[in-house]
Amino acid sequence: MRTLDGVVRPYAWGSRTAIASLRGKAVPSPHPEAELWFGAHPAGPAVCVGADGDSDSDLLTAIDSDQIGMLGERTVASFEGRLPFLMKILAAEEPLSLQAHPSSEQAREGFDRENAQGLRIDAADRNYRDPWHKPELIVALTDFEALAGFRDPRVTVELLRELQVSELDPYLGMLAGQPDSEGLRALFTTWLTLPDASIATLVPAVLTGAVDLLGGGDGRFTAELRTVLELGEVYPRDPGVLASLLLNRIHLEPGEGLYLPAGNLHAYLRGTGVEIMANSDNVLRGGLTPKHIDVPELLRVLDFTPADVADITPRIRTVGAERIYLTPAPEFRLSRVELDGTGLLYASSICFDMPGPQILTVLQGSIDVRPAGGHPISVRAGQAIWIGDDEPDVVVHATASRAVFFRALVPVASD
């Protein structure tokens, strides 16, 4: 077992307080901290902390030195010797880009194609930086706001009609005449490929309509209208502002989650959560960003099938103190565990004996992790612990009155 310190990713949309507070810092960070990575991704492997508190390696190096012992034979064979998941704390104070991720087949084909074209892995106009897909799950730690999946187009037609924006009439007709996935594809494609001059006229007209409707409407589309206004203020000439009108506007309470499979168009808007994903860098962007946007490639991977929020909400199974978020992803399984160090309200300890690699990330309080016949390792909030496949069964005990941690592992076939 190894205690892990996460790697901070300082993206501009991050928070100066959320991750700093989690790590026990009394003052805000001098710059935005967007993500705290706990994994073995080459761009930011977690730091292994020795008994003296100093870093002695990183998790990627440790895994590469003993793949079978650290990952187990099944994981090595299934995922080419890689830890297949990346666990993060994500803290957004501003919206992330509108984006989607490819399927396994699309990622492999795109990666090979761009290699054949001679594109550098770090090229700004590269879409595929590895040959793997990137399903992901986010579980809210605070109130969390997101756009995810194309809304029922019949409801979207109602929203566009209520805006009463004459400039929208030609586009409204496209979807009203074909309120299905093909109509969504046609409208989304049209908006993303409009000339800049048309966007410069259409977006302000939509924002004016949103202001008017908020002032006198019945409140049915309040969240959607406020979102389009917020996005339009930051990205006044971005077709992604229009695209946001086509997507489900989602609010998550703490503990609720979203599972985003291949092809799902989404954008996280605001909030802090635990995120787990397949260990990949492949992102196809569709707007709300100054970064590279490849519209034909994005259209190739998008799934325009309308999705109800229930379709992208993970099933939950509770086993004792463990709340398990079930998804079809073969790379990861995530659960939330809450222990009571006093033992008065609920369990003070839990035993884990599942084979394969695991990462436990502590969000509140502190825990001791004890292998059978061994000495415990203490882990505090803001840190994690790595448990390799060759570790004996472990017992986790809360050393604070309340300890909350998230457990990430590679699921077995019966999960």
Regarding whether 260 and 163 lie in a shared domain, the answer is: no
Give CA separation, 228 vs 162, 199, 265, 331, in Å. 14, 14, 16, 34
Instruction: Write down which residue in 245, 268, 303 finishes a domain.
Output: 245
Considering the domain boundaries, does residue 322 fall inside one? no
Q: Please, which residues have CB within 8 angstroms of residue 26's CB and are 6 or more apart in sequence?
A: none
The per-residue pLDDT for range 308-320, each reduced to its tens digit, is 999 999 999 999 9
Residue 349 structural domain: 327-409
Give Cα 407 to chain centroid, integer Å: 16
pLDDT-based confidence at residue 414 (cuts at 50, 70, 90): low
Considering the domain boundaries, does residue 312 fall inside one? no
The residues with which 145 forms a beta bridge, in sequence order, are 251, 270
Regarding whether 158 and 132 lie in a shared domain, the answer is: no
Instruction: Write down which residue in 237, 265, 286 finishes a domain.
Output: 286
Considering the domain boundaries, does residue 319 fall inside one? no
Asked if 176 contacts 307 with a C-beta cutoff of 8 angstroms, the reply is no
Regarding whether 9 and 94 lie in a shared domain, the answer is: yes
Q: What does the alpha-carbon distance between residue 133 and residue 262 come to, in Å, rounded to a whole number?
A: 7
pTM of the predicted protein model: 0.95
- CATH value at residue 282: 2.60.120.10
The per-residue pLDDT for range 145-200, each reduced to its tens digit, is 999 999 999 999 999 999 999 999 999 999 999 999 999 999 999 999 999 999 99
Regarding whether 70 and 54 lie in a shared domain, the answer is: yes
**Residue 315 falls in the annotated catalytic set:** no
SS3 281: coil
Asked if 89 contacts 272 with a C-beta cutoff of 8 angstroms, the reply is yes
- Give residue for tokens 């590469």: 64
In total, how many domains does the chain have? 3
SS3 10: coil
Regarding whether 346 and 379 lie in a shared domain, the answer is: yes
Query: Which residue, among 10, 6, 185, has the nearest Cα to 87 in the 3D structure?
Result: 6
Regarding whether 235 and 159 lie in a shared domain, the answer is: yes
Regarding whether 187 and 216 lie in a shared domain, the answer is: yes
Q: What does the alpha-carbon distance between residue 87 and residue 136 come to, in Å, rounded to a whole number?
A: 10
Regarding whether 81 and 13 lie in a shared domain, the answer is: yes
Q: Extract the tokens encoding 205.
A: 């007209």
Active-site choice (285, 323, 336, 370): 285
